Chains A and B, each alone.
Chain A
């Protein structure tokens, strides 16, 4: 076992993040593969709307769980499918409660929900919670290949933002229910004593958000790995996201530096110059972030695709 796998194998949830195009999916796939080869049932989940796991494994992985090897399964969350599923559920809830005349009235509202900003993220977030909570998914490790930094940060900060929002909703609704009861009491009406369905729905949502928050903040169960390339832009973005995550009290477990120009005997001055710059950048990264560097992967002379080629990364990850 090498450094990354060793660090990650004891944690149930592992998140891979980083700037677009640095090799997150490849690193996540390789890590998941090596964990699974230690006799642990592993699920690799892509939360990136532009999926690349299918390309990494050279297999058609879809929105339902796909078996790659004996111990390794993979899944690509399809946000628009999840959102549609949710809308369908709401529609069927509606038809059980109100008259068809009113249904046509609020269909407009429902269609808007597809288009609201954040719908995709929310759909991914819901699926993420479902995966972490589903007891039928009996996995030892779940590895998340997340979308490029901005997207992921949104995803990780959602529980906090939504928590604040839902808290104030619950408070208002409670007050309304309480006041309605008082009015009933004045008139001596026997108010319906059953729970307000709206309030119980809100409370259920809140408890799900809280679960997600708990998982993200639990250092014993969850770890975050950032993938960077030894380039200024990649490092700058990583620094920004590490600091932002700190704000949400999420700590980075370690870094993987990908695509370092290797030392070549009788190498061209072009490559030598590039190498020097990269070494400087790595030093800078070290001073800047003070985060463990778990692995350094050199630039390889081929593309990585399929399980056989992923195994070539074993000596590094």
Chain B
């Protein structure tokens, strides 16, 4: 009986450890990658739709056909841009290595 109980406890500890590892390492790694995706997405957006911000694009005519495949991402992108209060703070957070 007690052997079985011990097995259960060990299993539980193992599970918790793996949860911890996943939470700690995976989230952090994915977070870094996601930040990078955001960066590239920003650049992509400016290259595509910069003419709406006053940056001339040589081919705004051709970016139109990209729009249908983009619309989901535009939504997310727009809300992210709207949400952040300061551009600099977002930038600086990227170099915050302590945690």
Contact = CB atoms under 8 A, between A and B. Distances in A.
A161 interface: yes
B68 A183 contact: no
Given A118-B58, A169-B47, A179-B40, A90 B64 contact: yes
A203 B72 CA distance: 21
A162 B44 contact: no
Contacts of B52: 112
Given A89-B65, A106-B71, 4 more contacts: A83-B61, A165-B47, A172-B47, A187-B30
23 contacts: A87-B64, A89-B65, A90-B64, A90-B65, A90-B67, A93-B68, A97-B68, A98-B68, A112-B52, A113-B60, A116-B51, A118-B59, A119-B60, A119-B61, A122-B59, A123-B61, A162-B58, A162-B62, A168-B47, A169-B47, A172-B40, A175-B40, A198-B69
A97 B65 CA distance: 13
Interface string A169-181: 1001101100110
A165 B58 contact: yes
Contact of A113 (B33, B44, B64): B64
Contact of A182 (B33, B48, B67, B69): B33
Contact of A183 (B30, B43, B51): B30
A45 to B, nearest CB: 20
B19 interface: no
Given A98-B72, A172-B47, A198-B69, A116 B60 contact: yes
A172 B36 CA distance: 11
A271 interface: no
A182 B29 CA distance: 10
Contacts of A252: none
Interface of B: 26, 29-30, 33-34, 36-37, 40-41, 43-44, 47-48, 51-52, 57-62, 64-72, 75
Nearest to B74: A106
Contacts of A180: 37
B40 A186 contact: no
Given A116-B51, A116-B61, A162-B62, A179 B33 contact: yes
Contacts of A201: 65-66, 69
B33 A183 contact: yes
Given A98-B71, A186-B26, A93 B61 contact: no
Residue of A86, A118, A123, A166 ringed by the most chain B CB atoms within 10 A? A118
Q: Which 9 A-B pairs have the closest CB atoms?
A: A122-B61, A94-B68, A116-B60, A113-B64, A198-B69, A172-B44, A93-B68, A119-B61, A179-B37
